[in-house]
Amino acid sequence: MAKAKKKNAAKAKPVILITNDDGITAPGIHNLVEAVKDLGKIVVVAPDKPQSGMGHAITIGQPLRLAAVSTFFDGVEAYQCSGTPVDCVKLAVDKILHRKPDLCLSGINHGANHSINVIYSGTMSAAVEAAIESIPSIGFSLLDYSIDADFTAARKYARIIVEQMLKKIPEKHTVLNVNFPPVAPELIKGVRICRQAYAKYEEDFVERNDPNGRKYYWLTGEFVNFDKGKDTDVWALKNNYVSVVPVQFDLTNYQLKDKLEKTWKL
C-alpha cells in the first residue's frame, strides 16, 4: 500500500500557478498557458484589469473579490481578482489551492522587465511574492508593448525554461527574471544566464492643462543603460539572446554590512 501511494505521488502532475499584471484577458498570459498547459495542473489567478507598474503593492482598506471564469482558457481552472498581482498570489495559495503550488509563473508581460524595471514590475513582484511564500517562480516578459505582439518565440523558450525548472524543483526561494527579445524564433541565438544591468530612466513630467485649466502631469522618460558589460540582461537582449537573471528579495548589501561593522564605532 505504501509503495502504491509513493508511485501515485510520483506520477502526480505538478501544480503550476499562473498570474500576470496585464490582466486576465491579455494575450501574454494566454500564450503562457498554451506554452505549458500539458506540463502540470494549471490554475490561473490574474487581475481583472491591467496592473502594470504596481510593484509589490497589496490591497488594504477595501475588499478583494474573486470570480471563477470559464470562457478565457479552454479546460483550465481560472479566476479573476480585483486586486494586484501580489494579491492574486496570496489569494490563490490561501483560498483557491489551499496549498503551495509547485511552481508559480508570472507573465508573459507586454514590455521589458530587464534591469531596473524589476523594481517597478507587477509581473516580477508576483513572482517574488511566490518565492517569499517558498514557491519557486519565474517572471516572463517580452520586449514588445503592442497588444498584437508576436509571442511565438516567447512561448517556445518559456516552455524550455519551465521544463528545466521541473526536471529538478530548485531551492524554494528561487526567482528567475526572464526576458525575450522581440524577434522571430529563428533569430534568437540562445539563452544567457545574466546579471541585472545598471540602468535607469531619465524621467520627465510633461505639464499640461485639462479642459478646466487645471494643471496635470504626464510621466515620460528614456531608458538609459550605464552598464557596458557583456554579461548583463540588457546586452543579451540587444544581441538577440533570452536573458535569465536570478533575483532575490533579500535586499541586504552584505559587502557594505561587513564594511560598516569594521569601520563604524558605535
Apex 69 CA angle, 42 and 46, nearest 5: 60
**209 labelled ligand-binding:** no
Average confidence (pLDDT) over 143-151: 92
List, in order of start, the domains of the chain with CATH numbers.
15-197+229-263 (3.40.1210.10)
Name which residue leads in pLDDT, 10 or 48: 48
Q: pTM, whole model, 2 decimals?
A: 0.92
20-43 residue pLDDT tens? 999 999 999 999 999 999 999 999
pLDDT of residue 246 exceeding 90, the answer is yes
Q: Is 21 annotated as a binding residue?
A: yes
**What pLDDT does 123 receive?**
97
109 marked as binding residue? yes
